[in-house]
Amino acid sequence: MKVHLTLLCATAGGAAFGDGRLSERGLREAVSAGAALRPYSLTLRAPSFPCAQMADALGMEATLEPALRDFDYGEWRGRTVGEVAATDPYRLSAWLTDPDSAPHGGESVRHLCRRTANWLSSLPPDTGRALAITEPAVVRALLVLALSAPARAFWHLDVPPLSAVSFTPRGDRWNVRLDRITLNDRAGSGPLERRGPALVT
């Protein structure tokens, strides 16, 4: 048995940093997605309320894993991007362009990448099939690691809600699979597809 880790992205509604909850549509889609997911030997979730909501909607008993937490947004937590851009555009620009910058007093992109990389490397080799319900930022950080991309690539990865990204070890590297989750449309228009993350150019 080896590690086969699937990251499932939960994205809250609203544009505030580190705030919000899943929309009604997001909850309905999570319920539908639960029927499409295969069984897992281990299910984990980030500490946020949206990730707890998603685990409940999927009908899964998920163990809280602090290492999967979202960015520490520092003094920006609860504020919208628009609010920060209007009052402090230069510090926001620095955070979005310099992976070592943390102008909000919280966490830099590089720190997040290191934190999540340390967590991934700590998984026991006999973990088996594991599911981790987590934040878009965590998915981006682990993709940066698996793709051996520079930390500056972080903001060029788009991670939609219900993206499913699978990681399996190959020697001292990780293989990545971008999965699709087919959702049953309860309005009667047929199946919907959620595709995994894509590079934004």
Q: What is the CATH number of the domain that holds 181?
A: 3.40.50.1240
Question: 64 in a domain, yes or no?
Answer: yes
DSSP string spanning the chain? Answer: ---EEEEEE---SSSBTT-----HHHHHHHHHHHHHSPP-SEEEE-SSHHHHHHHHHHT---EE-GGG-----GGGTT-BHHHHHHH-HHHHHHHHH-TT--TTSS--HHHHHHHHHHHHHTS-TT--EEEEEE-HHHHHHHHHHHTT--GGGGGGEE--TT-EEEEEEETTEEEEEEE-EEEEETTTTEEEEE---EE--
Q: In the structure, what pLDDT confidence band is assigned to residue 200 with cuts at 50, 70 and 90? A: very low
| Any domain includes 161 | yes
The model's pTM is 0.84
pLDDT tens sequence across 81-120: 899 999 999 999 999 999 999 999 999 999 999 999 999 9
| Residue at 129 is within a domain | yes
Does residue 5 form part of some domain? no
* Predicted pLDDT of residue 183: 54
Q: Give the chain's domain count.
A: 1
Q: What is the pLDDT of residue 193?
A: 40
As a whole-number percent, the residues of the chain with pLDDT over 90 amount to: 47
Q: Does a structural domain hold residue 182?
A: yes
Residue 110 lies inside a defined structural domain of this protein: yes
Does 33 score more than 80 pLDDT? no
Q: How confident is the model at residue 17 (pLDDT cuts 50, 70, 90)?
A: confident
Query: Residue 192's pLDDT is what?
Result: 35
Is 194 part of a structural domain of the chain?
A: no
Q: pLDDT per residue over 121-168, tens digit each?
A: 999 988 999 999 998 999 999 999 999 999 999 999 988 878 889 998
Give the range of the structural domain holding residue 18, as residue numbers without chain letter.
12-140+147-188
Whether 65 is covered by a domain: the verdict is: yes
